[in-house]
Amino acid sequence: MSDIIAIACVFTFSSFITKPEFEKSDSILLLLLLIGWYFSTKISSTYDDFRTERYIGELLLIFQNVLVQSIIAGQVLFILNRHEYTRRFVFVYILILLIVLIIKNYIIKKILLRYRQKGRNIKNVVFVGYNEITSNLISQIQDNPHYGFKVIGIIAKEEEGYDFGGNTYLGDLQKFLNMNEDYKIDEIIITTEEISNHLMQKIFVLSEKRAIRTKIVPNYITYYPSRLQFKFFGNYPLITFRSEPLQEYHWRLVKRVFDIVFSLFVFVFIFSWLFPIVAILIKLDSKGPVFFRQYRWGKDNKKFKCFKFRSMKPESNDVTEKGTFNQAQMNDPRITKLGQFLRSSSLDELPQFINVLLGDMSIVGPRPHAHEHNIRTKDEVDSYLVRHWIKPGITGWAQVNGYRGETRTIEQMEQRVKYDIWYIENWSLGLDFKIIFMTVYNVIKGEEMAY
């Protein structure tokens, strides 16, 4: 609520000092800015974990949400044909809003920290179960007093040699459920799965009776600490092991619109003159077709014909005498003289914008591999097929991090897959822009693995 009030006050002040009078259209703009703030903070989870968010993390979220405000303000004023005030108002509004929000959050953090250091606004926590998860959570609480938590004790089976990290031992679960002591407990956090459904039900009854909030940390979170995603399927909660932003229809739509707009821009302003030049040079360099088409695996392992400018001699074979897939190598005799330049400059990949418009590929995504390459690798790298959950790309996160071209070892392929999966789990339109800029930069400076 304080942020909403800050936006309204800053908007009014900025309007007062940059425009002669307040108009009805300004009320529409303010309403849209407030709506935009609501949705941008919702999407970025700005308010979801206030206690455990560090100040630097809050600053990054502030910058992100204020950027959305600047885009909304600029676009709305442009549509309303208020060009004479657009730049001045947007600059003043964004600058003051940024300063106000930064100072406000800093002051609130300092006040709460001082308040909690005096033992106020503290949540008393009891852990059920003692294991690595419990120990790590307690360390985080102790190392970060601004979280505002205090560990009252541990409920677990007493085993010989256990000191429970120096924390108070409150007995086993049965003793805790039957105890008469009136501990001041705000939250119970269960970190063990060695509890029967019957005892779990008793914990819930006790916590409800004493108005204690109960939370559960899944024990298998140690295997997938940053990938878990919680959703509902009807009335049933589901935990998935990987976060996939592109599972959401609206994000897939955003990515698809970006792919189409970007590809059309490239076709109109670059391909219109570059394609004929490259086609003529390929024909002059060697006999054979201009394009090389090869079956590759796309989203959901569906095969499609991938377009490239031909960079090898027409009689070249993709399969060795032993029947294995023949990857392009350094000083590969199959590559033509022009092909060496096309591959080192990545110009051979440009026809894949056709695949983007056809819907088989995206601008950014895991690079598609040849059919035979997929067949060989999917059984050697456990998570290999995960990269096919989304459309393949002309460029990708693995490629801009040095994993492009030939993969000589399984370890190299595992690293490439690791980068591809990270991209799937952390996708954003901003990340796509970053990868595109990194790709252009790498092409200009040259890449060791581009052959």
Q: What is the structure's pLDDT at 261? A: 92
Cβ atoms within 10 Å, residue 142: 14
Q: Determine the pLDDT at residue 85.
A: 59
Q: Parse the chain into domains and list their residue ranges.
A: 2-117, 123-223, 249-445
Give the Cβ contact number of residue 325 at 10 Å. 16
Classified by CATH at the fold level, domain 123-223 comes out as Rossmann fold (3.40.50)
Strand spans (E) along 208-323: 213-216, 229-233, 236-240, 291-297, 303-309
Residue 266 to residues 10, 39, 291, 356: CA-CA distances in angstroms?
41, 32, 18, 12
- CA gap 256, 238 in Å, rounded: 28
| Measured distance CA(92)–CA(13) in Å, rounded | 9
pLDDT on residue 327: 57
Burial of 379 (0-12, 13-18, 19+ CB in 10 A): exposed
Consecutive H or E run containing 125: strand 123-128
- From the list 87, 85, 91, 97, the residue with the least C-alpha distance to 25 is 85
Q: What is the pLDDT of residue 451?
A: 46
pTM for the model stands at: 0.61
| Residue 292, beta-bridge partner list | 308
Residue 31 in tokens: 């309403």
Instruction: Decide if 92 contacts 104 (C-beta within 8 A).
Output: no
* pLDDT tens sequence for the chain (451 residues): 788 888 889 888 888 887 767 676 778 888 888 888 888 887 766 766 554 556 666 777 788 888 888 888 877 777 766 655 567 888 888 899 989 988 888 888 777 777 766 667 788 898 998 888 888 888 888 887 777 788 888 888 766 456 777 778 887 888 777 765 666 888 889 988 878 888 888 888 888 777 788 888 877 665 555 566 777 667 777 777 777 889 888 889 989 999 999 999 999 988 889 989 988 898 888 788 888 888 899 998 899 999 988 887 765 555 555 555 555 555 566 777 787 888 877 788 899 999 999 999 999 999 998 887 788 888 888 888 999 999 999 999 999 988 876 666 788 888 999 999 999 988 988 889 889 988 888 888 766 655 4
Q: What is the helix (H) or strand (E) element at residue 88, kind and residue range?
A: helix 83-117
- 370 forms beta bridges with 296
